[in-house]
Amino acid sequence: MRLEPLNDRVILKALMAEETTKSGIVLPGQEKEKQQQAEVVAVGPGGMVDGKEVKMQVQVGEKVIYSKYAGTTVELDDEEYTIVRQDDILAIIK
Amino acid sequence: MRLEPLNDRVILKALMAEETTKSGIVLPGQEKEKQQQAEVVAVGPGGMVDGKEVKMQVQVGEKVIYSKYAGTTVELDDEEYTIVRQDDILAIIK
Amino acid sequence: MRLEPLNDRVILKALMAEETTKSGIVLPGQEKEKQQQAEVVAVGPGGMVDGKEVKMQVQVGEKVIYSKYAGTTVELDDEEYTIVRQDDILAIIK
Amino acid sequence: MRLEPLNDRVILKALMAEETTKSGIVLPGQEKEKQQQAEVVAVGPGGMVDGKEVKMQVQVGEKVIYSKYAGTTVELDDEEYTIVRQDDILAIIK
Amino acid sequence: MRLEPLNDRVILKALMAEETTKSGIVLPGQEKEKQQQAEVVAVGPGGMVDGKEVKMQVQVGEKVIYSKYAGTTVELDDEEYTIVRQDDILAIIK
Amino acid sequence: MRLEPLNDRVILKALMAEETTKSGIVLPGQEKEKQQQAEVVAVGPGGMVDGKEVKMQVQVGEKVIYSKYAGTTVELDDEEYTIVRQDDILAIIK
Amino acid sequence: MRLEPLNDRVILKALMAEETTKSGIVLPGQEKEKQQQAEVVAVGPGGMVDGKEVKMQVQVGEKVIYSKYAGTTVELDDEEYTIVRQDDILAIIK
């Protein structure tokens, strides 16, 4: 089974902590921030969304930072995903 | 009797738990998430909705994930349905 | 006396419980849901409503399901009616 | 003195209870509902209101039902009036 | 010093009670309602306001009724004024 | 250092009490109202702001009245400024 | 690793207190205001954002003042950044 997002939606999968921090020093609040980083696993087709043309700008495999509390968490085949609108993605981590 | 949705509305019927989880391991919170999965039983005609053109993208029989708390639950002939706007559908489960 | 709705408004009259349930089994919460089913008794002319073109899609005599808490309840000649916008009607019961 | 409404505003004057109920039976809640019925005493010119074209559809002398809590109550020459937007008028009583 | 309103703003000055009531009978609540009556002392140029064309419809010297709680009260040279948007003016008293 | 506002923003500096009141009589509430008067110290370029064309109408050096609670107070080089959108400016004091 | 903002987003890095105050006198509330000053470290491409054309007006290296509470704080490689929409930037400090 796989998820195929509608409209301007993007499906994200949380990144493991090891992948995103080079330094071993844990700052207060670091744990919470980490949850905003994720990998793109599926991208909707974009197009007319709520009467406005949306062009998709992220690609599967990219690592992104998204808004706190944005999106809906779903579980499929024992994996947890977050489905957000592309506009909830703040930046791509290069 | 059957329900014929207006505009961009979609009528959903909850999926049984057995149909959506391959693994037998129950993770905490899994029960709640499951309620967001449903089968499409009727699709409105789309068209101009609130001054914006909406093209329907889901089809009867497809399994979908929809927003928590979205829609209205109705009962007809002892069956329970949820009526949502298409934009409350996040992704199609393929 | 009769009510002639303005714009995209529709006048509804609650359906009696007997008319809408085939089964005699009363499920919990059934009473509340029943109140969302109604018969259309008058339909506004549609047209430009709040700057958007609205085409009326329901007809007098049709049975419909409408949003919980939507509309305004009025009483005329000892009959109770609910006046809703067409967009508060979710589906037609056929 | 008389009130000349601006834009899409309509000036209403409450109807006496005697004029609107044929039956002498007082149902609970009837008193409150009655306050939503009123006679149109002045109609604004319509036109462009908040960037949208509004065509006036009610006429002086018509009896109407309007939204609960809508409008502003003013007093002029010891008479009380309610000034509403036309869109707060739900239906004309014919 | 004088105030020159921007955009669709109108500067109002409260009317004295004597000018607005013919009858000497004081009804309950009358005091509060009186505060909604005012004289226009300055009118903004109108034009494009928040992306919409606004044509000014009130003139200096006219008596108007405006929305409760609308506008901002300012004091200049020991006189108190209320600055409202034209759309907060409900009707002109003729 | 100086502040250069973006879009339709205007930078204001509070006026001293002495400059704005001719009379020596202090009315109740006068102190609070005085804080709404300010001098324009910088004006943004205007142009397309949130999809709407905004033409700047105030000039550096003008005294203005602005909405209570509008804007953001910032401090630069031990001077305090308030940055507002032009639409929060109600009137120019001439 | 570096952050590449989407749409009209701008990535900011807080300025050290030493860089922004010439005077050594600490006024009450000064500490809090200082947090609104930041340096631009990355600028999104702009373009069509929520159906409106946005032209980017800030550049990497510029010092800016932004709205209190605006944006999302993220941490990358033990550095803390704030990601805001360009419209949350009030002024450039020159």
pLDDT in tens, E30-39: 444 456 899 9
Q: How confident is the model over F54-81, as a mean pLDDT? A: 91
Q: Which chains touch C (3 or more CB pairs under 8 A)?
A: B, D
**Interchain CB contact of C86 with B (< 8 Å):** yes
- The band of G26, judged by pLDDT with boundaries at 50, 70 and 90, is very low
CB contact under 8 Å between G3 and A67, yes or no, is no
Enumerate the residues of chain C whose CB falls inside 8 A of the CB of residue B41: none
Give the gap in angstroms from C-alpha B81 to the nearest C-alpha of chain A: 20
Backbone angles phi and psi of G24, in degrees to 5? -90, -5
E76 has pLDDT over 90: no
Q: Nearest Cα to C9, choosing from C52, C71, C76?
A: C71
Taking one residue from B and the other from C, the number of pairs with CB-CB distance under 8 angstroms is: 68
For chain D, strand residue ranges (E) read: 3-5, 9-14, 37-43, 47-49, 52-54, 63-66, 72-76, 79-85, 89-93
Question: Which position has the higher pLDDT, B55 or F16?
Answer: B55
Neighbouring-strand partners of residue G39: G13, G63
Q: To the nearest 5 percent, what fractions of chain B are helix, strand and coil? A: 15, 45, 40
How many CA atoms does the CB half-sphere of A30 hold within 13 Å? 15
CB atoms within 10 A of CB D4: 17
* Cβ-nearest to G91 among F51, F73, F83: F83
Cβ separation of F90 and E73 shorter than 8 Å? no
Confidence category of residue A20, pLDDT binned at 50, 70, 90: very low
Residue A18's pLDDT band (boundaries 50, 70, 90)?
very low
Alpha carbon of A42: minimum distance to chain B alpha carbons (Å): 10
Whether B6 and C89 have beta carbons less than 8 Å apart is answered as yes
How many Å lie between the alpha carbon of G45 and the closest alpha carbon of chain A? 11
Minimal C-alpha gap between E69 and chain D (Å): 11
> DSSP class of residue F16?
P
Q: Looking at chain B, which residue has its C-alpha nearest residue C31? A: B75
pLDDT at F8: 96
Candidates B6, B9, B80: best to mutate against C (most CBs of C within 10 A) is: B6
Per-residue pLDDT, averaged over G35-44, amounts to 92
- Is C68 an 8 Å CB contact of chain B? yes
List of chains touching B (3+ CB pairs within 8 A): A, C
Residue E34: predicted pLDDT: 53
Per the model's pLDDT, the better-predicted residue between B25 and G43 turns out to be: G43
Pairwise CB contact (< 8 Å): F77 & G22: yes
* Beta-bridge partners for C65: C37, C91
Chain B residues with CB-CB distance to A72 below 8 A:
36, 65, 67-68, 90
Low-confidence ranges of chain C (pLDDT < 50): 18-21, 26-33
State the DSSP code for D71: S
- Kindly list the structural domains of chain A, giving each domain's residue range(s) and its CATH number in brackets, ordered by start: 9-93 (2.30.33.40)
Contact D75 E22 (CB under 8 A): no
For residue E27, which residues of chain D lie inside 8 Å, CB to CB? 75, 78
Pairwise CB contact (< 8 Å): E77 & F53: no
Phi and psi of D36, rounded to 5°? Answer: -85, -5
Query: Taking CB atoms and an 8 Å cut-off, how many pairs form between chains A and G?
Result: 69
pLDDT computed for residue B22 by the predictor: 52
